[in-house]
Structure 1
Amino acid sequence: MSVLVNPSAPLLELENLNVYLPTVRGRAHAIRDLSLRLARGQTLGLIGESGCGKSLTALAIMGLLPESAEVSGAIRLQGQDLTALGEDQLCNLRGARMAMIFQEPMTALNPLHTIGQQIAEPLRLHLGMDAPAAREQALSLLERVQLPRARERLDAYPHQLSGGQRQRVMISMALACGPDLLIADEPTTALDVTVQKEVLDLIGQLVREDGMGLLLISHDLGLMRDRVEQVMVMYGGTAVEHAGTDDLFRNAAHPYTRGLFAARPRLDLPRGTRLRTIAGHVPELIDLPEGCTFAGRCEIARDSCPRQTPSWLTIEPRPQDPGVPHRVACPYWSDA
């Protein structure tokens, strides 16, 4: 069965995606009615605290959820519903038309194979290259991501490289077959600030050159501001706010989004100033309410909030904020 492609469809479309995971305490609703659209050449950031469902969303798109997971709703890649495909068909797409940069390259790379072998593998599987041609292309990819002494690194093993070098190798593998969609899941975890900037600049440059769609996942607000065109804020496995990046940073609306912004360190704060925090803790998935997932930590929650799932509201755009509609999942956002 071939994969059907609709050129006029969005590159990536999630429609009412739900993911359920079994736990020792019962069935947990891990992703809740998540919908988003991403066109080729667009950049979208998913932001939120750890445990809010960002990485799980990425794994769902890639078809890498645990076998015990239950999925409903649609995940479409240019019109083709990925949830209807078998594992063999998904394997044909991974690395070829959609690729992912994982947050910890040391666990994502195979310690038993050289760097050159691992980059060459998708080239041989998806593009049918022979071993010598794949090796030369692997070298070209390493040079493109500006890995020092690239030819020597072809025969190196992951443990022989630094964290920043391993991340460049991961980017090379992700870009090997020229995918349409690139997912970067916390791509600068455990890297120092200088290397973080280099890696992010590299990803941005490659996305612009190749015209890919980029889904960037992070908990770092400052990183998002400079790297993506639009941002979706997640909490408790669902989206709570979506807007153009500049719009969101100027006019954060949802109580959770405002709490994240208030908790950011700022250079202009007097010495000794305590940062604001969001009261409470992120609950376990199994303990989230059926309604608004943020209700238990929200300062403006009403009695009905834990029981009633909030509808999306569109905030009237300001003249300086054209483009992506600013939407928020809170009927009381103006009271925050």
Structure 2
Amino acid sequence: MTKQAPLLQVTDLRVTLPTARGWAQALRGVSLRMERGDTVGLIGESGCGKSLTALALMGLLPERAQVSGSIQLQGQELVHLPDPQLCRLRGSRIAMIFQEPMTALNPLHPIWKQIAEPLRLHQNMGVTEAKARALELLERVQLPRARERLEAYPHQLSGGQRQRVMISIALACSPDLLIADEPTTALDVSVQKEVLTLIKQLVNEDGMGLLLISHDLGLMQDQVDRVMVMYGGSVVESASTSALFAHRAHPYTRGLFAARPRLGLARGTRLTTISGSVPELMDFPAGCAFCDRCAWAVADCRQTPPMPESIAPNSQASAPHEVSCPRWSLT
């Protein structure tokens, strides 16, 4: 019997972008595998390649971007797939909740039309049927007074309400893979919790795969089963969420965890920080991207790209624990 292809298989994904100083590697060999029902988180500082990875999966990279490697959605190769074929997949089999709904939504159209658009494009629904389905979706994401708000425009809604509209659009065609890129960045804390609970509930109900992008460690601990830590366009460490929170191996991961705020700290206590800052794309060394900020780096770290190494701090872990650092240690 032929083995079924995974929902998503990304292998050695590399993206090079034009800059004022020449071509720069923005993604440097990203690989990941997801099955239906998997929940995976991408975490790291701003500029580490999280959102660019999502745009690469969606086929929404800048026009001059150069892409190599492989992105397969249930066995179908997406890298270099002609745009008309990608358009048939976007919104239908792979969908994305963008970071800022106010800029992602069209200010000139009422929200029902924006929810109905993928239904009309991918499922050939008529206007009346699509509008009725838009109402069902708004009710499913628990938008208050959904029927009254069908004709509302984005500027007439709050941030949390606009994000619920974005989720409705993403879920309209019941995609196989949902990408959520910092879906709560612009929301206050109470609304953040509501939106994240809603996304988790909907993913569980539909059995889709979820790729959640964030810089919030606490959010990852609550929302996903597996975490991939990114820095400099590479995945430096990946493990099941429980294993990563119990044992951090890569110096960058340890730095992220050390820098998070914690309850009980005395007033005036300064948080631990990672020295330095994320370099410009053209300034990353040929070897480990983190070596210039790493207290454990040696000369070879600048020259030789580290290879992923499997470690086993916890035999009960549900996913392999891999780290890309020859000088890793467990804490």
Which range, TM-score by smaller chain?
over 0.9
SS of 2:255's equivalent in the other structure is helix
Supply the distance in 1 between the matched residues of 2:14 and 2:4 (Cα, whole angstroms).
Answer: 25
CA deviation map 1:22-58 (0-9, x unaligned)? 0001101000011000110000000000000000000
CA deviation map 1:133-192 (0-9, x unaligned)? 000000000000000010111100000000000000000000000000000000001101
Q: 1:300·1:335 contact (CA, 8 Å) conserved in 2?
A: no
Structure 2, gaps ≥5 residues long: none
Supply the distance in 2 between the matched residues of 1:241 and 1:268 (Cα, whole angstroms).
Answer: 29
SS of 1:152's equivalent in the other structure is coil
Supply the distance in 1 between the matched residues of 2:73 and 2:313 (Cα, whole angstroms).
Answer: 29
SS of 2:56's equivalent in the other structure is helix
Kindly tell me the number of residue pairs found equivalent between the two proteins.
Answer: 330
Q: Which of 111, 126, 129 is the matching residue for 2:125?
A: 129
Q: Which of 264, 273, 278 is the matching residue for 2:274?
A: 278
SS of 2:286's equivalent in the other structure is coil
Q: 2:247·2:313 contact (CA, 8 Å) conserved in 1?
A: no
Supply the distance in 2 between the matched residues of 1:23 and 1:139 (Cα, whole angstroms).
Answer: 44
Supply the distance in 1 between the matched residues of 2:136 and 2:312 (Cα, whole angstroms).
Answer: 48
2:262 corresponds to: 266
Supply the distance in 2 between the matched residues of 1:122 and 1:314 (Cα, whole angstroms).
Answer: 41
Q: Which of 255, 263, 266 is the matching residue for 2:251?
A: 255
Supply the distance in 2 between the matched residues of 1:302 and 1:100 (Cα, whole angstroms).
Answer: 40
Task: Report deviation, 1:7.
Answer: 7.6
Task: Report deviation, 1:271.
Answer: 1.8
1:26 corresponds to: 22
Calculate percent identity across the aligned residue pairs. 69
Q: Which of 112, 118, 131 is the matching residue for 2:114?
A: 118
Q: Which of 134, 143, 147 is the matching residue for 1:151?
A: 147
CA RMSD of aligned residues (A): 1.1
SS of 2:260's equivalent in the other structure is coil
Task: Report deviation, 1:326.
Answer: 0.6
Q: Does 1:60 align with 2:73?
A: no
Q: Does 1:242 align with 2:238?
A: yes
Supply the distance in 1 between the matched residues of 2:59 and 2:52 (Cα, whole angstroms).
Answer: 10
Task: Report deviation, 1:273.
Answer: 1.1
Regions of 4+ moved over 4 Å? none
Structure 1, gaps ≥5 residues long: 1-5
Q: Which amino acid in structure 2 is aligned with residue 332 of structure 1? A: R
Q: 1:232·1:241 contact (CA, 8 Å) conserved in 2?
A: yes
Supply the distance in 2 between the matched residues of 1:88 and 1:246 (Cα, whole angstroms).
Answer: 41
Task: Report deviation, 1:335.
Answer: 8.2
Task: Report deviation, 1:334.
Answer: 2.0
1:45 corresponds to: 41
Supply the distance in 1 between the matched residues of 2:151 and 2:55 (Cα, whole angstroms).
Answer: 30
Show the 5 A alignment for 1:1-336.
8-319=4-315, 321-334=316-329
Supply the distance in 2 between the matched residues of 1:334 and 1:7 (Cα, whole angstroms).
Answer: 36
